[in-house]
Amino acid sequence: MSAVVPESTALRGKAKTAPETRPRARLNPKYLPLAATISLFVLMGTLGSVFYDGFFSLQVFLNLLIDNAFLCVVAVGMTFVILSGGIDLSVGSVIALTTMVSASLVEKQGWSPAIVIPLVLAMGTLFGAFMGLLIERFRLQPFIVTLAGMFLARGLCYLISIDSISITNEFYSDVSQWRLPVWGGASISLSGLIALGVVAIAVFVAHYTPFGRAVYAIGGSEQSAVLMGLPVRSTIIGVYTLSGFCSALGGVVFTFYMLSGYGLHAVGLELDAIAAVVIGGTLLTGGVGYVVGTLFGVLMLGIIQTLISFDGTLSSWWTRIVVGVLLFVFCLLQRLFTARAAER
């Protein structure tokens, strides 16, 4: 005779073999600002395609990068500075100084662009390294040091000339007009390619090198980074050196774009760079952020300008208004992220 299994025992057996429910995968809070930026960019692109004829085209989206390539390059350098917990207010003035030195040497002195471009890149790099050395060696506030750097670089522009210097050199003209065909009649400029290359290299440096990991660690807690034996002093100097190089490279790209040197070029661009970094999801307190987010932050500023130009009835000042609102929103989003991180 077969044994009779009590019903309660059978139920207990079924309960033991029942599959356990797994918790739903949730988005890591540190990715929330980046996800919000990308989602908002896609939303704006979709709305523009719905309301304006000709908006949804590859060339329109490539123009976002072409017209803001210099800002993208500068914002990448600013990303590393903010990730480390610092700030750099000198980037716009370094761009202006780069354009003035380039225009003066090429047009007035007759120097070759092959000599001028490496020279101005070295100049910007040394300028950033000098500010980084002051910040690290004397424990000065980055805000004050880079503010002094901003006044110094802008003042040096007017020692060269108080007027705009046009660049008629054939090399600069050819570079500004050169386009790489992409698809369907769309094309991208050399400046846009430089910006994409800088972003790609910066992503690798930030996430796959000891320098990048040290930048994140210092931004999270400088004291903890010291206790872990990380090269804090050299890394702090390094981020401002990198920012100076990116500012000078942005100045070279800006020279291709404007074909002139002028002391009033890029006034206020440091604020645009900071806005792009913050909108891209990098925390102003440091330690959290992504270079890809900065790219989308720059594209976000570009798509706002493009939407306003396609509308045709709004003043260009609406760009500033919308950017201001976005900054408020992303600052609140950052506050929400830090509060959740503290709770965990």
Q: Given this model, what pLDDT does residue 11 score?
A: 44
- Quick: pLDDT tens for 95-112: 999 999 999 999 999 999
Yes or no: domain 29-343 corresponds to CATH 3.40.50: no
Q: Answer left, alpha or beta for residue 281, where phi above 0 means left and psi between -120 and 50 means alpha.
A: left
Q: Give the span between the Cα atoms of 339 and 29, in whole angstroms.
A: 10
Under DSSP, the state recorded for 5 is: P
Q: b/e string for 245-273 if b means 16 or more Cβ within 10 A?
A: bbbbbbbbbbbbbbbbbbbebbeebbebb
Return the CA Rg of the chain. Answer: 25
Q: Which two tokens stand for residue 325?
A: 């609102």
- Provide the residue type at 331 as one letter: C
Q: Give the model's pLDDT for residue 342.
A: 62
Domain regions of the chain by residue span:
29-343
Residue type (1 letter), 24: R
| Sign of the C-alpha dihedral computed for residues 275, 278, 284 and 286 taken in this order | negative
Q: pLDDT in tens for each of the 344 residues of the chain?
A: 444 545 444 444 444 444 555 555 566 666 777 888 899 999 999 989 888 888 888 999 999 999 999 999 999 999 999 999 999 999 999 999 999 999 999 999 999 999 999 999 999 999 999 999 999 999 999 999 999 999 999 999 999 999 999 999 999 999 999 999 988 789 999 999 999 999 999 999 999 999 999 999 999 999 999 999 999 999 999 999 999 999 999 999 999 999 999 999 999 999 999 999 999 989 888 898 999 999 999 999 999 989 888 887 777 788 888 888 888 888 887 777 766 666 66
b/e map 184-214, b = 16+ CB within 10 Å: eebebbbbbebbeebbeebbebbeeeebbeb
The pLDDT assigned to 29 comes to: 65
Q: What is the pLDDT of residue 265?
A: 95
